[in-house]
Amino acid sequence: MIKQVASLIVLLGIGIILTMAVIDMPAFGDPEAPAHRHVAPRYIALAEEETGVTNMVTAILADYRGYDTLGELTVIFAAGAAVLSLLGSKHE
């Protein structure tokens, strides 16, 4: 009983903190949001000129944030290799 009350209080506390954080977030699509004021304007202005690629998303994914994408691919590769080695194969 005490355990349940204690976990309820902890959960409520976390819930209040998370709700406050969500309320404090910038409105959806707000151009003044911090995420849109750091490097985004530079990408929008220069991505096509610098990379010769009209799809800005691909330019960011494969060029400006190429290191990130390589890490992402490595994670998928490691996960795939792990799953395939666990599942095994009839052909071996």
Partner 1 sequence: MTTVVIQTIGRILVPFIQLFGLYVIIHGPVSPGGGFQGGVIVGASMILLALSYDLSSAEARASHKVRIAMDSTGALLFAGIGLVALLAGGFFLEYGIIPLPMAPAEVRGIFILLVGVAIGIHIMALAASLFLHLAEEHEI
Residues that bind partner 1 (CB under 8 A): 49-55, 57-59, 61-63, 66-67, 69-70, 73-74, 76-77, 80-81, 83-84, 87-91
Q: How far is the CB of 19 from partner 1 (least distance, A)?
A: 33
Cβ atoms 4, 20 nearer than 8 A: no
Burial 8-42 (b: 16+ CB within 10 A, else e): eeeeeeeeeeeeeeeeeeeeeeeeeeeeeeeeeee
Q: How far is the CB of 51 from partner 1 (least distance, A)?
A: 4
Q: How far is the CB of 61 from partner 1 (least distance, A)?
A: 7
